[in-house]
Amino acid sequence: MLFNSLEFILFLPIVFILYWFVFERNLKIQNLFIVVVSYIFYGWWNVMFLLLIAFTTLCSYISGILIEKSSDRRKAKIINTLNILLNISILGVYKYYDFFVNSFIEAFSGIGINMQGSLLHLILPVGISFYTFQALSYSIDVYKKKISATKDIVSFFAYVSFFPQLIAGPIERATNLLPQFQKRREFDYCQAVDGMRLILWGFFKKIVIADTCAGKVDLIFQNHETLPSSSLWLGAILFTFQIYGDFSGYSDIAIGVAKLFGINLMKNFNFPYFSRDIAEFWRRWHISLSTWFRDYIYIPLGGSRNGKWNGLRNTLIIFTVSGLWHGANWTYVVWGLYHGLLFIPLLLLNLNRKHTGNIVENRLLPSFKEAFSIFTTFILVVIGWVIFRAESIETAYTYIKGMFGSSILSYPREALGIDTIIYPLIVLFIIIEWVQRNKEHALCIDIIQFKYLRTAVYLFILIVISFFIIGTHAEFIYFQF
């Protein structure tokens, strides 16, 4: 079920009313209701895949109990490892089997050897990477004794399947989300209002920014071989805003909807395009995934504790795995490596933790040095998104090469069209996010003391969204991951 669909617009208020006014008195029944509606939400796309998420959930639930009951640490490690291998195997078969078989065949064909291989042609379950990682983090944390194993199967199923963040995150930790399902929740008006503001801003990002950029992006990427450099830069920059508006918009809606049900999810985006270097970008972009790889892969591998070279190796490993996590295509792997290579100089010079605070605090405008750092980081990210968006390595190479041609200063004729309204909207979007860059989110406008003026701002955004939403039901980009 899409957030930006009529079905969800009807689904949400019905669930909200039943949750708070019918099932509120009994915690277990309320959690069971969450599981049922979450499975309806997920099964709306394909009922068959409900068995898959239920199996993944059950495996991690049983593993947690067995790990905690085991007095032998070696036995507990075996149970945890088996659960990891089982879930990663399921993810691997659905998401990567055909990709690796094809790559294997093509590699041997390149040296004149014809190989045969059977492809499965499986449909990729929506959000499988997200809920698999969320389930795995629980059993790993039980093994590490960061959390006690729960015997409340209903709350655990609610933790894994909670519908706002089920399909595209944030990827929650059991240490944060599971305890929230194990205690009574009371309706908080202020929390709900903040949730509605997040939902509103998330829809603005998705429908007004991302979906409006999508048409020009598709046109430019499909015809990149015949277009001037200026048009290619236009396409790359528009995709940069498309993917940000699309993915962070989903996260905002998910976090906002969760607040309506008295649940707090982790922040997943923190104004990443104002980052001053690549390290800061990854602390601000898809935070739940970045910290997942840090805590469950980078640190267990030794992090940077055992010398620079080990730190460099581990950095390249997590960026490569992060790229592969995004999809079964070598473009994602190269995109991950690209960011890893950009990260390495910062690590070598001990500058990877240089920018951990607020962006340009207590001043409206950045200094020249800060502006230059933000601009260069943004350009590096834009180039990376071309690799991410391209259908193949060859396409990415051709596109990036074309971006640096002699026509780079020409006027991009593809900028014209009926959807040119996107340009002032992006400028407005950037201004709003810059002004609010050190707030919890862009619609934290309590500084406006006049209630009616704040309401007018919300109504204006709602009207703009309503104008753009007509006839659009575009899926979120990260559904495929």
Q: What is the pLDDT of residues 193-205, one digit of tens each?
A: 999 999 999 999 9
What pLDDT does residue 416 have?
A: 64
Counting the structural domains of the chain, the total is: 2
> Is residue 117 pLDDT above 80, yes or no?
no
Mark whether 179 and 194 lie in a shared domain.
no
Q: What is the rounded average pLDDT for all residues in the chain? A: 91
Rounded to an integer, the average pLDDT of 263-280 is 96
From 138, 164, 186, the end of a domain falls on 186
Q: Which of 160, 202, 149 is nearest to 34 (CA)?
A: 160
Look at residue 297 and tell me whether its pLDDT is greater than 80.
yes
Same domain, 168 and 241: no
Task: Identify the pLDDT of residue 311.
Answer: 86
Catalytic annotation present for 441: no
Mean pLDDT of 132-149: 95
246-262 confidence digits (pLDDT tens): 999 999 999 999 999 99
What's the mean pLDDT in 105-119? 73
**Smallest Cα–Cα separation from 201: which of 402, 426, 429?**
429
Model confidence at 341, pLDDT cuts 50, 70, 90, reads very high
Portion of the chain with pLDDT greater than 90, in percent? 71
Is the same domain home to 101 and 22? yes
pLDDT over 70, % of the chain:
96
The whole-angstrom separation of Cα 278 and Cα 340 is 9
361, part of any domain:
yes
The answer to whether residue 201 is domain-embedded is yes
| Domain co-membership, 47 together with 173 | yes
Q: What's residue 305's pLDDT?
A: 80
Average pLDDT over every residue of 401-414: 85
Q: How far apart are CA 32 and CA 203, in angstroms?
A: 28
For residue 374, pLDDT beyond 90: yes
Is residue 315 domain-resident? no
**Domain contains 161:** yes
Question: Is 208 in the same domain as 170?
Answer: no
Last residue within a domain, chosen from 134, 165, 186: 186
Catalytic entry in 326, 339, 355, 441: 326
Q: What is the mean pLDDT of residues 455-466?
A: 92
Task: Give the residue from 120, 155, 186 where a domain finishes.
Answer: 186
Q: What is the pLDDT of residue 412?
A: 79
**Structure tokens given for 389:** 């968006």
Asked if 253 and 123 sit in the same domain, the reply is: no
- Mean pLDDT, range 221-247, rounded to an integer: 94
Dump the DSSP string for 14-67.
HHHHHHHHTSTT-HHHHHHHHHHHHHHHHHTT-GGGHHHHHHHHHHHHHHHHHH
479 pLDDT above the threshold of 70? no
- Predicted pLDDT of residue 250: 94
| Same domain for 195 and 179 | no
- Residue (of 204, 238, 193) closest to 220 by Cα position: 238
Q: Per-residue pLDDT for 304 more than 90?
A: no
CA–CA distance from 324 to each of 105, 221, 317 (Å)?
Answer: 19, 22, 11
Of 116-125, 170-179, 220-229, 277-286, minimum mean pLDDT range: 116-125
Q: Taking residues 338-362, what's their average pLDDT? A: 91
- Residue 419 scores a pLDDT above 70: no
Q: Band of the pLDDT at 473, cuts 50, 70, 90?
A: low
Residue 128: is its pLDDT beyond 70? yes
12 pLDDT band, cuts 50/70/90, is very high
The pLDDT of 355-371, averaged and rounded, is: 91
- 71 has a pLDDT exceeding 70: yes
pLDDT score recorded for residue 178? 96
Cα–Cα distance for residue pair 81/63, rounded to 1 Å: 10
Q: Which residues span the domain enclosing 419?
A: 190-276+355-480
Question: What's the confidence (pLDDT) of residue 472?
Answer: 56
Q: Are residues 147 and 55 in the same domain?
A: yes
For the segment 78-102, the average pLDDT, to the nearest whole number, is 92
In the predicted model, what is the mean pLDDT of residues 79-102? 91
203 and 236, same domain (yes or no): yes
Please say if the pLDDT value at position 457 is more than 70: yes
| pLDDT beyond 80 at 306 | no
161 and 43 both lie in a single domain:
yes
* Averaged pLDDT for residues 335-340: 96
